[in-house]
Amino acid sequence: MNRIQIVGASGSGTSTLAKAMSEKYGYKHFDTDDYYWLPTEEPFSQARPIEDRIQLLSTDLLNHDEWVLSGSLCGWGYVFIPNFDFVIYLWLPEEIRMQRLAEREAHRYGKDIAAGGKRHRSYLKFMEWASNYDTAGLEMRSRTLHEEWLSRLPCRVVKLEGDISIQDKLRYI
């Protein structure tokens, strides 16, 4: 299996697992955020046009025989489904996932996410969005949307649900 996608909620560990697989098995790691978002002064604030995302990701995937792609393609990346040999779905309980996100955002942005900070409103909006993953429907990136995505895949899908260490995930894979 040389072409792998890892999908799950923000904070579920998709990028972390992809990085570990890249290091252990030599896959080239790509992350959908690098294609979805334009590089702007305030990160993750302006989406790249869909056609541009598809073109950029297509070029990168075609230039590598072995890769792991972390992140969601729902809503814009159905064209990539035939490229996958294997898909891994990660799920974590909300309280663990939200704690990870709060720690990640604090590490990335420090005091800027605190009350009065320049990213405080963006932080609150992001955390509110992320907290809806398990209960939302198809209108946003959610467990429901990911289940729908997984149902379309012709390749093998593995679901790793719960707080599982990276070492145990790698052993299972």
Residue 43, pLDDT score: 86
d(CA 90, CA 64): 24
d(CA 83, CA 1): 11
How many distinct structural domains can be found in the chain?
A: 1
The reply to whether 16 falls in a domain is yes
Look at residues 3, 12, 2 and name the one whose alpha carbon lies nearest to residue 81.
3
The conformation of residue 19, written as its DSSP 8-state character, comes to: H
What mean pLDDT do residues 8-14 have? Answer: 97
What mean pLDDT do residues 36-58 have? Answer: 95
What mean pLDDT do residues 49-70 have? Answer: 98
Residue 107, pLDDT score: 96
The reply to whether 88 falls in a domain is yes
Look at residues 82, 98, 107, 159 and name the one whose alpha carbon lies nearest to residue 132.
98
The reply to whether 33 falls in a domain is yes
The conformation of residue 11, written as its DSSP 8-state character, comes to: T
What mean pLDDT do residues 133-152 have? Answer: 96
What mean pLDDT do residues 119-145 have? Answer: 96
What mean pLDDT do residues 30-42 have? Answer: 95
Residue 23, pLDDT score: 96
123 within 8 A of 133, measured Cβ to Cβ: no
Any idea what the CATH number is for the domain that residue 22 is in? 3.40.50.300
* Unique residue bearing structure tokens 């990168």: 60
- State the residue range of the domain holding 145: 3-92+141-167
d(CA 103, CA 74): 26
Residue 41, pLDDT score: 87
Read off the pLDDT of residues 63-90 as tens digits, 9 standing for 90 and up. Answer: 999 999 999 999 999 999 999 999 999 9
H/E run at residue 165: none
- Work out the mean pLDDT of the chain and round it to a whole number: 96
The reply to whether 147 falls in a domain is yes
**Those residues with Cβ within 8 angstroms of residue 15's Cβ, 6 or more apart along the chain or in another chain:** 31, 70, 71
Residue 82, pLDDT score: 96
Read off the pLDDT of residues 87-106 as tens digits, 9 standing for 90 and up. Answer: 999 999 999 999 999 999 99
The reply to whether 24 falls in a domain is yes
The reply to whether 126 falls in a domain is no
The reply to whether 9 falls in a domain is yes
Residue 123, pLDDT score: 96
pTM for this prediction: 0.95
Find the angle CA(98)-CA(18)-CA(2) to the nearest 5 degrees.
Answer: 145
